[in-house]
A = this chain, B = another copy of it.
């Protein structure tokens, strides 16, 4: 009898358990690998989720041992499978982004041009590293079938998104670097380069008219 709706981390856990049994440690480890780029969660929270799934009756536990050290093995129950399938039938919530670097861009008039440049450079570097991680993963899946061969086709869909996502960040960082290249500082360009700002805001894309101008 479910007490409360599991979190997304909970459904991810159920999704892993749908294929085979895992120990708590293994589950926590799996959710900290590449999936965390799609659904971030702290190590600590993944164990807490398991306890709640257990209370709700969605998973069962048994103990195994390596010498004197115990570990808990989790398996999914029929109720857990049904809860997962039921969730998949509900409407999705839109993706959200937490982009500290972009917050720094917005507030960069309170700092130096070097701060802004450093933010763009680091953002680019991190995106390159992540893109390459997913590119390597794509090669790995393609060659070996990956850790979840039966989900290869689904991982392919997600992997393609992630690579494109990081490529978009890289492109944007490059473009933004060019935009700020001739700024004298982080404050003045609004006046001295007004025309340029207008160009930035009126690209070749279709810009819709409308009253519902949501402000920042």
Contacts and interface: CB of A to CB of B under 8 A. Distances in A.
A168 interface: yes
A181 interface: no
Interface string A103-121: 1111111111001001100
Interface stretch (A42-50, A54-62, A67-75, A171-179): A171-179
Contact residues on A (Cβ < 8 Å of other chain), bracket: 35 or more
A110 B97 contact: no
B37 A109 contact: no
Given A97-B38, A159-B201, A163-B205, A216 B148 contact: yes
A103 B202 contact: no
Interface of A: 8, 11-12, 15, 18, 30, 33-35, 37-40, 81, 84-85, 88-89, 91-112, 115, 118-119, 122-123, 126-127, 130, 132-133, 135-142, 146-161, 163-165, 168-169, 171-172, 175-176, 179-180, 183, 186-187, 189-190, 193, 196-198, 200-203, 205-210, 212-216
